[in-house]
Structure 1
Amino acid sequence: MERFAVVVGAGSFRSADGDAIRFPHRWTPEGVTVEAGFTGAHLLHLAAAGCVLNDVYREAGELGIRIHGVRVSAEGGFDTQTWISRGITYQVELSSPASAEELALLLNRVDDVAEIPRAIRAGTTVRRS
């Protein structure tokens, strides 16, 4: 089973890779970097990873936690006969002066509220109109 991996980074975890794509970002002055192929599988995983990164900044602000950098890696596989997803896993790396307990609280909160992962977990329909 082929794996489709993506990495998004912001702050001190922005990618230095010359092939990384750079986007403006409302919570970081330097923007975000994206390392991903341009396939449907990569884009699905990028949506989840990007949402988690955004929500780390949003929820950290709500909790008063200072963030210096975030890197979210997401990957998953597909049944290549049916293209049914085998699931998405993601990891978050943080640079922050906050305590381990505060960061655990933040990441648990993000996992609960991140909109794209929630939508994928719940399932949805996609129709051509």
Structure 2
Amino acid sequence: MEHFAVVVGAGSFRSDDGDAIRFPHRWTSEGVTVEADFTGAHLFHLAAAGCVLNDVYREAGGLGIRIDGVRVSAEGGFDTQTWISSGITYRVELSSPASGDELAMLLDRVDDVAEIPRAIRAGTTVRRS
């Protein structure tokens, strides 16, 4: 089982690594940074991490919670013979003046509504047309 890890950051958690890729972001003026290799396995995990980061900002805005920074790390394994995933584990770090209870509620909400993790959990088909 080979492991594949990615990190996305925004605000005070943007990466200063010169190899990090920078993208514009609708919720942050400085954009986001992405630390990931360009392989299918990394991109799979990046989709989940990026969605969680976006949804932290979206849901926080709706709840009136100020977010100064977000870092989402996602990783998981693949059997490189079959390319069956062992699943994705993600971790969120937040910088915010909000209380621990408010941030816990925010992260629970994000875990419930984040579209890409929900789609991956539900399973889907992929077909070439």
Deviation at 1:2, TM superposition (A): 1.4
| Unaligned stretches of 5+ residues in structure 1 | none
Identity of aligned residues (%): 90
Q: Give the aligned residue type for 2:118.
A: R
Equivalent-residue separation in structure 2 for 1:80 and 1:17 (angstroms): 28
Question: Is 1:3 paired with 2:11?
Answer: no
Deviation at 1:81, TM superposition (A): 1.4
Question: Is 1:29 paired with 2:46?
Answer: no
Equivalent-residue separation in structure 1 for 2:20 and 2:98 (angstroms): 28
| Unaligned stretches of 5+ residues in structure 2 | none
TM-score (norm 2): 0.99
Question: Is 1:86 paired with 2:69?
Answer: no
TM-score (norm 1): 0.99
Deviation at 1:108, TM superposition (A): 0.1
Q: Which runs of 4+ in 1 moved over 6 A?
A: none
Equivalent-residue separation in structure 2 for 1:81 and 1:25 (angstroms): 36
Cα RMSD (Å): 0.4
Equivalent-residue separation in structure 2 for 1:103 and 1:3 (angstroms): 29
Q: Give the aligned residue type for 2:90.
A: Y
| Aligned position for 1:44 | 44
Q: Give the aligned residue type for 1:67.
A: I
Question: Is 1:20 paired with 2:20?
Answer: yes
Aligned residues, how many? Answer: 129
